[in-house]
A and B are shown apart, each in its own frame.
Chain A
Amino acid sequence: MSLLPFIFANPMMLAALVALPAIWWLLRMTPPKPVTEIFPPLRILAGVLKREETPSKSPWWLTLLRMLMAAAIIFAIADPVFNPRSNTLSADGPLALVIDNSWATAADWERRVETAEALIGDAEDRNLPVAIVFTADSEHNAVPGSATAARNRLAAASPQPLQPERTAAVNALKTALDGTAPGTLAFLTDGIETGDGKVMAELAALAPANLRLVEGRGDQAVAITNSANDADSMVVTASRLDTNSARTLPITAYDTRGRTVANGSVAFAAGEGVATATLAAPFELRNDFARIAIDGTATAGGTFLLDDGFRRRRVALLSGEARDQSQPLLSPLYYINRALAPYADLVQPNEADLAVAIPELLAQKPSMLIMADIGRLPDETYAPVTKWIENGGTLIRFAGPRLAAAPADDPLVPVTLRQGERALGGALSWSQPQPLADYPALSPFAGMPRPQDILVKRQVLAEPTADLSSRTWASLADGTPLVTTKAQGAGRIILFHVSAEATWSNLPISGDFVEMLRRSVQLSRSGGVASEGTTPGQTLAPYRLLNADGVLTSETGRARPLEISAGKAPVSSAENPPGLYGSEEGFSALNLLPRDTRLKPIDATGLPMAYTSEALIGAEAWSLKPSLFAVALILLLVDSAVVLFMGGAFARLRIPATTAVVIALAAAALVAAPGHSLADDGKPGDENILARLDKTHLAYVITGEAEVDRLSERGLAGLTEFLTYRTTLEPGPPVGLDIASDELSFYSLIYWPISANAPMPSPQAVSRIDAYMRAGGTVLFDTRDQFSSLGTNSGNTSPNSERLQAILGDLDIPPLEPVPTDNVLTKSFYLLSNFPGRYNGSPLWIEAQPDNGSQPTGRPARAGDGVSPIMITGNDFAGAWAIDGNGAPLLPTVPPDEQQREYAYRSGVNIMMYMLTGNYKADQVHIPALLERLGQ
């Protein structure tokens, strides 16, 4: 159609290229010459002018860049298309279309339909009849007809969640053509080989003039082919058709209601068609898996259905001993219970009488029955138990004194037992308690490491038989079997030769016991086993079916009930499409592909005739438009970067070359050197705590009101500075505390400015304060309202005081009194008579000291043990202490008297000294008397 390898969809748009010289001229335009002005505050002007600056002349290469950009956009709008289709049908006979509408075509079905339509259109152009046949349909009708009829059939066809029946389709085509050689035979295939793999040969046998194999890209042809429940994860096997490159696909497990339960990914190596994924999830969660799907591939093959083979088992427990719950650690069922409770539903009989209990348990259809130390069952129960085992039940027995004493003809033990037990170790024995040997390879316990610390002191012994070793799942180091088993009917009997409690061995209190039991439970049949009747063949009605997009639907359509016969895995077919069969109570999953199928490409080697292989339509004819737009966009970005660079936007970011080299080297070293990683057992906030441990810090409560908190912080900073200058106490910077969460115990005094506007502390915070005060801390409450009640009724308390009352209401507060004149607070550093802050006049309230009448009144300081856990003032200490960064006071005192501020600081010093030294200072005043008493 055209000499060029591409055509323009809108060739008219190319006329716009004429405009390029005009664009060139516009870009070259330069602004007029500016008036030059000297302007000292240029920096201020630069701040507001930045966006307007334009270079007076753009360099030629920048102009060229912009021209290219404009040209790219014009060409992009003109929409050049590569590889346009052309009609190459052979006119020698009818067009035969063999179309796969199997599961793998669901992803690109529209393109397949487009391709087929294009072929049909070509046939219509040449007046050829069209025979069309779909391989996955149940009925194949390949009679050649008109192009319109073929189009209708094509429109009606849809991908099926099935594997293609190519042989049947080719046979139908052969019958319909009735010996006529088709002109062009196009096989639109999903590319996956099925059956005997001779489909190409069969097609070639039709002797078409032109044989075409049309394939999609095949990257959607990925299927989950198997899944296995491992010890701690579910291993999913997936297979793919396109093995060229490495590919990782996400995998998700859903529960019955479609919720995501677990995620994993399957990673195909390049050249590998099969890979496995691990879905790690706890056992309980894995029980809930109902469907595993490859994300992003909506096909029936990418969906794997699970049935209740993965469900929790019901396990019945039986014990021979009286159920004495007062000593649970001596009861064997206790250990089994603890070991299995996470993995299985445990049922226990209500009756102690075994004759009643066993039928009762079997009526609940358990998967497994565990008998701990039962020597002899009532005679009438042997038959139902045996029947239950033969129907698929699993019986686990544990030895014990009763079993050891039981007669040897018990049918419910896997091996013949010697009567009595064998004791290892002890006063009358040469032998030592035995450890376990490695688990035999055939045992389900294989793969578990050999337990090192399990010692068996006592066991029951099996009579040696020829097949004993093959029936042994675990044995002692000296070779005597510890766990033996026997298959019986569809079921199995397992015997642990030790007791289930810790008297015979320490196995029941080890982790291996749990793992052994868990693996045994995994072996048992799920879904319950009845002791009555058998189910040789079962017919299950379709319950939920997969559609081609891998979605479970309740449309069952023409699906027929699934017949399950023992020993033969059902296969999906047109009659039994993949899905769930059964009912809500119990269903069996039928997956599209048989287990462990490998997807292989169609083998077309050795054909007697040549064929052409093509891709689907749309893949070949591709438009240059997106790439041209991308080029234009990249040019635009380059242009923007250049403009920014010329405008000096990066001038500030310019890094000296040496620095850049150093940074690059450091980055490289950081990447190259493997980090020395240590386990980090720190908790968040540890750094803060460590930073505050080495120094005394003054602390205040963050009330949540910014101004109050700022004043507290500045106030304590002022006091800190004062203390540093005047005393030997040199505190660190003040610390704001969130009393609801921060650790309080590092601070001897917490300053709490009460603000009625701040949020009320939570009860938990108040109780933390209570604990802090009990543990020896002191809280200094400051209502800051000494003068705020002026002008109101004198009886009223201020809002701050009311808030304080509300807070203290929840605290355990001792009786309070204003600081008495002989209290140590008045003497701990300076001699003070009152404690002013910004205001003066409010007393400082502290815990009332017990009135010690016997003390002489002339003492300079009253001795008292302990430090008051609470101080209350209204004088606004922090306001008086607060200083700014230059050391100047922030707030004036009331009245404005610098002397009062000095006394406020002294009050703070006295309070801090009192806090840190306690009654030591009170003792100081007695030093002369003490020295006198010592005779100095």
Chain B
Amino acid sequence: MAAIGHIVERTPSGEVLSRAQMRARLIPDCMVEAKRIANTVISGWHGRRKRGIGENFWQFRPYSDGESLSRIDWRRSARDDHTYVRDREWEAAHTIWLWADLSPSMMYKSKFGHVSKESRALVLMLALAEILARSGERIGCPGVMEPVSARNAAERLASALMHTPLSGGLPQTGMIRAVSDLVLIGDFLDPVDTIMARLAPLARRGMRGHIVEIADPAEEAFPYAGRTEFTDPETGEKLTAGRAEIVADDYRRAYFARRDSLGDMLRHLGWTFTPHRTDHLASEALVAVHMYLSGMPGRATHGGQL
């Protein structure tokens, strides 16, 4: 009996890039809802429909005590008895850090999935980079690329990845300096506590996170039967099940319980959690993350599975 799952070669980033751009073409521009922007705001491409720092005129309003005198628009104030201040529209760009887990376990593809998990993760990451760059957000990749604000950010990210392949595990977040959004794509098969121990400090630093969990259908459904020896691609550990089918129910229960608890804990942090299977379309996950990034709550489509 042929094995259900196998390990695939690393996907070249050029191929992924083209697939990602294809996906990204389907998605409208994404303007990240800059709710908690404090320090990373720099003058950027698009107005925020709010008063703030920027170039364009927004409104006149009456001067109130305590404001700097230099902000008074004397020309307007001279027209009547009140004193006015000129407000400008707030123009800001947001920094978004994208990151995909490329550990050995991501190289897995079963015969039920269309592509390997790693390939899907890269596509999602680059597609997001493409969409966000179109709307002028700053795109960065922890450990690989400093945030840039450029139309061709996806290409630059792809080439940066070619030179600095992503490592496994969770990202080095030292270069993330302040409040910004973080999109993590991976299979998150580590114990929940380990993951949360890494993520909770980020949340405490004020980052908003969006987790996309990529799963192969075989991992979810456990379609194995008979005497089977399972191997962990990361540790090489072996485990033999006498009759794999009898543990299938227990395994599925444990698998989904782990996913639910991870999702719950992330939601407690205020983060979002998007599970995704490689036999579904990449656009589904892309749309979901896109919605979260634009401040819209994710819809429960496909029975919660995307």
Contacts and interface: CB of A to CB of B under 8 A. Distances in A.
Interface of A: 31-49, 52-54, 56, 884, 886-888
Contacts of A887: 204
Contacts of B254: 44, 47-48
Q: How large is the interface on B (under 10, 10 to 19, 20 to 34, 35 or more residues)?
A: 35 or more
Contacts of B216: 40
B240 A44 contact: no
Contacts of B5: 37-39
Contact of B251 (A31, A40, A48, A54): A48
A39 B203 contact: no
A45 B251 contact: yes
A40 B116 CA distance: 12
Contact of A35 (B3, B6, B106, B255): B3
Interface string B144-172: 00000000000000000000000000000
Contacts of B230: 37-39, 42, 45
A38 B229 contact: no
Given A35-B3, A47-B254, A886-B269, A52 B241 contact: yes
Interface of B: 1, 3-7, 105-106, 108, 187, 189-191, 200, 203-204, 216, 219, 224, 226-235, 237, 239-243, 247, 250-251, 254-255, 258, 268-270
B250 A37 contact: no
A36 B229 contact: yes
Contacts of A53: 239-241
Contacts of A44: 189, 251, 254-255, 258
B3 A37 contact: yes
Nearest to A51: B247
Contacts of A888: 270
B66 to A, nearest CB: 16
Contacts of B191: 43
Contacts of A45: 230, 239, 241, 247, 251
A38 B7 contact: yes
B233 A38 contact: yes
Contacts of B189: 40-41, 43-44
Given A35-B227, A39-B231, A884-B268, 5 more contacts: A37-B5, A37-B224, A40-B105, A44-B258, A45-B247
Contacts of B200: 886
A40 B228 contact: no
16 contacts: A34-B241, A35-B1, A36-B231, A37-B230, A39-B231, A40-B106, A40-B108, A40-B216, A41-B187, A42-B237, A43-B191, A44-B258, A45-B239, A45-B241, A53-B239, A53-B241
Given A42-B237, A44-B251, A37 B4 contact: yes
Contacts of B251: 44-45, 48-49
B24 to A, nearest CB: 28
B228 A38 contact: no
Residue from A36, A38, A49, A54 having most chain B Cβ neighbours under 10 A: A38
Nearest to A33: B227
Contact of A46 (B187, B226, B239, B268): B239
What 4 pairs between A and B have smallest CB-CB spacing? A40-B105, A42-B232, A34-B229, A48-B250
Nearest to B222: A45
Contact of A42 (B203, B231, B247, B258): B231
A886 B270 CA distance: 10
Contacts of A40: 105-106, 108, 187, 189, 216, 219, 232-234
Contact of A49 (B226, B233, B239, B270): B239
Contact of A31 (B106, B227, B270): B227
A45 B190 CA distance: 12
A33 B251 CA distance: 22
Contacts of B224: 35, 37
Given A44-B255, A52-B247, A38 B231 contact: yes
Nearest to A56: B240
A35 to B, nearest CB: 5
A298 B191 CA distance: 63
A884 B200 CA distance: 13
B247 A49 contact: yes
Contact of B247 (A43, A48, A54, A56): A48
Nearest to A50: B239
A34 B231 CA distance: 12
Contacts of A35: 1, 3, 224, 226-229
B276 to A, nearest CB: 15
Contacts of A46: 237, 239
A40 to B, nearest CB: 4
Nearest to A48: B250
Contacts of A39: 5, 219, 230-232
Contacts of A43: 189-191, 232
Interface-centre pick from A39, A44, A48 (highest chain B CB count, 10 A): A39
Contacts of B247: 45, 48-49, 52
B117 to A, nearest CB: 8
Contacts of A49: 239, 241, 247, 251
B249 to A, nearest CB: 9
- Report which residue of A41, A52, A53 has the largest number of chain B beta carbons within 10 angstroms of its beta carbon: A41
A56 B150 CA distance: 59
Nearest to B231: A38
Contact of A37 (B106, B231, B243): B231
B204 A36 contact: no
A886 B204 contact: yes
A35 B251 CA distance: 18
A37 B228 contact: yes
A32 B4 contact: no
B3 A36 contact: yes
B203 A886 contact: yes
B15 to A, nearest CB: 23
A229 B204 CA distance: 76
A49 B228 CA distance: 12
A39 to B, nearest CB: 4
A477 to B, nearest CB: 81
A509 B233 CA distance: 90
A35 B228 CA distance: 5
Contacts of B231: 36-39, 42
B131 to A, nearest CB: 29
A38 B251 CA distance: 16
A591 B237 CA distance: 78
B119 to A, nearest CB: 15
